[in-house]
Amino acid sequence: MQQLFRVFFICVLFLAPSLAQAKTFNADTFTLENGLQVVVIENHRAPVVTHMVWYKFGAADEKQGESGVAHFLEHLLFKGTTKVPDGQFSNSVKKMGGVDNAFTSHDYTAYYQNVPRASLAKVMEMEADRMGNLLLREEQIAAEREVIIEERRQRIDNTPQAKFQEQIMSALFVNHPYSTPIIGWLHEMKELTRDEVLSYYNTWYAPNNAIVVVSGDVTAAELKPLAEKYYGPLAVREVPRRERPRPAPIVAEHQIIMQDPRIGQPVAMKNYRVPHGSEAMEVLAQILGGTSTSRLYRALVIEQKIAVSSGADYDAIAMDDTTFSLYASPAPGSSIQQVQAAIDKEIRTLIAKGVTLEELNGAKNRLEASFTYYRDSLQGPATLFGRVLASGMNIDWVENRVDRIRKLTIDDINDAIDAVFESSDLPVTGVLLPQIKPAPTSDKGEKK
């Protein structure tokens, strides 16, 4: 048995050079007549599956003044249909030994169940049922509205860091719906009505606006008849195009300061609005702040000893623009201004000298390995494909990602440095402070 597996790996290694591109997951896909796309990622380690439904509808598709409705609808999808009454969806999944949950982002709403393979048909039947047959009573809406308000209090209002993040997004994405928090503004959440929620459900929850992703112990050939049986009968509906206003240019440098007695550790951030989907920016974020060998950590924490932590983030997967962020927390005895100046100095060095081949190769290795680690999990690959497809990119974009990362050159990274740090859109600086102090005098910033 083990020998067979070795043969399998040798085959792939041998074949790889002759192929245009080596695919990472070998996902299979087909589309039903009603437009529902199905993606299968096989993994036969154990007789279990992850079944996910992704709607190409998220918080950024809400109308102004109705913030939080996408996430509210996500909660209400568990409130029952004629066939599967309130509470019975999750109850059925639990009886299978499974887990189910759902989540909402700016770009998508997703529902999933991890269940034994034998229960796949049943969860597909229930998920297809609630795509078209949701019943909502007024008293269910009232109780669940309280739940999402408690969720906002727990996740955001009780956490100064989260409130701070909301303010930064508001500044980065002026005139674009990413500026509105996914969970909604509290005053608008309180006003959401049954009619509003249902109108979004009727508009966006259609088979031609959904993607089913299944990973685990099943093949496309086995899945297709099940998908046709359960999702096939759902009627095509006209779904609006997701056209969002373009964000306004950021011509003045913003500094957002928040002070809260519950902040134990000050933080300085620098946030840039940048295009999505860039592997070069992903590598750049790794080099700048991905690990404790990265530039910011070495300079600020190890060498200058002015910070206790630092990092950089870039999330490539989004429909519209995304953020590139740098951050650091000052060490005792160092000021937030010292840390800000040191971050700016690293940026200037980066612009002037670029990155080294060593740095590039280390980052490539880490990113490439992360895809192998993905394959070690059941739900990881399904989530990745769902996010990418629901954000408007395609399967090849995922499958060929490792290849694109491998081919990146120092010139590509230098182009990314220009795109992030010399963009005409200025950064939004954030300062989170523990207590009320006189506002720090603004640092010199960078002359562009």
Partner 1 sequence: MIRILPAIFALMVLAAPAFAAKDKVLDVQVLKSPSGVEAWLVEDHSVPVISVNFSFEGGLAFDPEDKPGVGRLVSILLDEGAEKMKSHEFQTKLSDNAISMSFTAGRDAFYGRLQTLSKNKDLAFDLLRMALNAPRFDQDAVDRMKAANVSEIQENMGEPGWLVARTFNGMLFEGHYYSRPGFGNLESMSTITRKDLLQFVKEQFGRNVLKVAVAGDITPDEVKATLDKIFGTLPEKAASVELPATTPGYPGKTILLPLDAPQTYIIAGGQGIARTDKDWHASVIMNYILGGGSFNARLMKEIREKRGLTYGVYSSLTNMRSADIIQANMSASNEKVEEAVRLLKESWAEMAKDGPTAEELADAKSYLTGSLLLQLTSTSDISGALNDIQRDGLGPDYINQRNSEINAVSMSDAKRVSAKVLQADKLAIILVGKPKNMNVDILLDRPPGMEEPKADKQ
Q: Which is nearer to partner 1, 202 or 361 (CB)?
A: 361
The two tokens of residue 336 are: 């937030």
The binder of partner 1 chosen from 243, 332, 441, 447 (CB under 8 A): 332
Is 410 a residue that touches partner 1 (CB under 8 A)?
Answer: no
Q: Give Cβ neighbours of residue 209 (< 8 Å, ≥ 6 apart).
A: 35, 55, 56, 57, 237, 239
What are the residue numbers of the active site? 74
The two tokens of residue 118 are: 């034998």
Tell me which residue of 186, 160, 187, 176 sits closest to 430, measured CA to CA.
160
The two tokens of residue 253 are: 């440098």
The two tokens of residue 15 are: 């074949």
The binder of partner 1 chosen from 31, 335, 365, 409 (CB under 8 A): 365
Phi and psi at 332, nearest 5°, equal -55, 135
d(CA 109, CA 373): 25
Query: Of the ranges 121-129, 272-280, 367-375, 399-407, which one interacts with partner 1 (CB under 8 A)?
Result: 367-375
Q: Which is nearer to partner 1, 46 or 439 (CB)?
A: 46
Is 401 a residue that touches partner 1 (CB under 8 A)?
Answer: no
d(CA 10, CA 23): 15
Strand order across the beta sheet in which 37-42 lies:
28-31, 37-42, 210-216, 48-55, 109-116, 99-104
Is 435 a residue that touches partner 1 (CB under 8 A)?
Answer: no
Q: Provide the H-helix boundaries in 77-174.
A: 88-95, 120-132, 138-152, 160-172
| Interface of this chain with partner 1, residues 196 to 225, rule: CB under 8 A | 217, 219
Is 8 a residue that touches partner 1 (CB under 8 A)?
Answer: yes
**Count of residues interacting with partner 1 (CB under 8 A):** 84
* Residue type at position 156: I
Is 331 a residue that touches partner 1 (CB under 8 A)?
Answer: yes
Angstrom distances, CA of residue 281 to CA of 176, 249, 257, 287, 379 = 22, 20, 27, 10, 26
Is 298 a residue that touches partner 1 (CB under 8 A)?
Answer: yes
The binder of partner 1 chosen from 329, 338, 383, 429 (CB under 8 A): 329
Q: Which is nearer to partner 1, 93 or 250 (CB)?
A: 93
Q: Which is nearer to partner 1, 202 or 219 (CB)?
A: 219
Query: Least distance to partner 1 from the beta carbon of 287, Å?
Result: 11
Neighbours of 186 (CB within 10 A): 16
| Interface of this chain with partner 1, residues 129 to 188, rule: CB under 8 A | 142-147, 149-151, 153-155, 157-160
Is 10 a residue that touches partner 1 (CB under 8 A)?
Answer: no
d(CA 74, CA 58): 10
| Interface of this chain with partner 1, residues 97 to 136, rule: CB under 8 A | 97-99, 114-116
The binder of partner 1 chosen from 30, 34, 35, 90 (CB under 8 A): 90
Describe the crossing of helices 357-375 and 379-390 by its angle, rounded to 10 degrees: 110
| Interface of this chain with partner 1, residues 30 to 49, rule: CB under 8 A | 42, 44-48
| Interface of this chain with partner 1, residues 47 to 66, rule: CB under 8 A | 47-48
Three-state DSSP class for residue 311: strand
Q: Which is nearer to partner 1, 329 or 429 (CB)?
A: 329
The two tokens of residue 205 are: 């929850």
Query: Least distance to partner 1 from the beta carbon of 338, Å?
Result: 15
Is 246 a residue that touches partner 1 (CB under 8 A)?
Answer: no
Is 23 a residue that touches partner 1 (CB under 8 A)?
Answer: yes
Is 373 a residue that touches partner 1 (CB under 8 A)?
Answer: yes
The binder of partner 1 chosen from 377, 394, 409, 442 (CB under 8 A): 377
